Amino acid sequence: DIVMAQSPDSLAVSLGERATIHCKSSQSLLYTSNNKNYLAWYQQKPGQPPKLLIYWASTRESGVPDRFSGSGSETDFTLTISSLQAEDVAVYYCQRYDSSPFTFGPGTRVEIK
Amino acid sequence: QVQLEESGPGLVKPSETLSLSCSVSGGSISGHYWSWIRQPPGKGLEWIGYIFFVGNANYNPSLRSRVTLSVDTSRNTFSLNLTSVTAADSAIYYCARGRGHFDQWGQGTLVTVSS
C-alpha cells in the first residue's frame, strides 16, 4: 500500500502566525491524464468528525476560510494556515484517493503557542 | 445541506457481526457514492469501503473478507456489515459522502467489541 507520512507530529503557533503542515506520499498522486493530484486535507476538532478543507491538493472546499491553502504535487504536499485563529486548533489529516485503498496520514496536531 | 446519521448497536460481542446504518437526509442518496470510515478512539482514520447508489461496492483489502456494504434507495440509507469482529474493530464508525474525498460526514457512532 501507498504510505502517507505527515510532519511535524504536532506544532504550536502563535495567534496570527503561519502554520505549515507537510504530507508526503510514497508514490506520486499526480495523474498526468488530467493533471490532478489526488490528495485531500481534513480538519478534525475534538468530538467532531473530520471536515474536508482541500481536495485536488489545492481546491478549497466551499465555505472554508481562505487562510487555508493547499499546495504541492506528485509526492510532496503542504497545508498552510496563513494566520492561525483560535478556532483552528485541531488535528489535520492528509488523505490520498488515487486508488483503493484510500489512506490517511497519521495526523498533525495544531495548538496555540 | 445533506445530513448523515449513523445508527446501530454500541456494543458487539467478539466473533459476532457489527451492523450499522447511515440515514441520509436533505438530499437524495441517488447519484452519489457513499463511504464508511472508522477511527479507534484517539487514533487515526481508516477507510472501510464505498458503495454507489446502484450497489457497486469497493472495499479496503484489509477488511474485504469481512465487510459488506449495501444501499436502500427507497429508505435513503446505506449500511455496513462487518463479520467476525474482535476488539481491534472497536472504533468510532463514520458514514460519509464520496468515494475519493469525503465532503459530508455523519457525527459518528462508537462501537465497542467486548463480551
Per-residue pLDDT at A37: 98
pLDDT at B12: 98
Shortest CA distance from B103: residue in chain A:
A52
Tell me the average pLDDT of chain B.
97
Rounded to the nearest angstrom, the minimum Cα separation between A112 and chain B is 20
Q: What is the pLDDT of residue B61?
A: 96
Long-range contacts formed by B75-79: CB under 8 A, 24+ apart: B75/B23, B76/B23, B76/B24, B76/B25, B76/B28, B76/B29, B77/B21, B77/B22, B77/B23, B77/B24, B77/B29, B78/B21, B78/B22, B78/B24, B78/B29, B78/B34, B78/B51, B79/B19, B79/B20, B79/B21, B79/B22
Q: pLDDT tens digits for B77-88?
A: 999 999 999 999
B106 neighbourhood in chain A, CB within 8 Å: 49
Task: List CB contacts (< 8 A) between A40 and chain B.
Answer: 100-102
pLDDT per residue as tens digits for the range A28-70 = 999 999 999 999 999 999 999 999 999 999 999 999 999 999 9
**Residue B5's pLDDT is what?**
98
User: Residue A70's pLDDT is what?
Assistant: 98
DSSP character string of A40-109: EEEEE-TTS--EEEEETTTEEPTT--TTEEEEEETTEEEEEESS--GGG-EEEEEEE-SSSSPEE---EE
Pick the residue from chain A with its C-alpha nearest to B6.
Answer: A49
Interface probe, candidates A42, A45, A100, chain B, greatest B C-beta count within 10 A: A100
Please give the mean pLDDT across all residues of chain A.
97
CA atoms within 13 A on the CB side of B17: 12
On the question of pLDDT at B17 being above 80, the answer is yes
Interface contact A101-B47, CB threshold 8 A: yes
B47–A61 CB contact, under 8 Å = no
Q: What is the mean pLDDT of residues B26-30?
A: 95
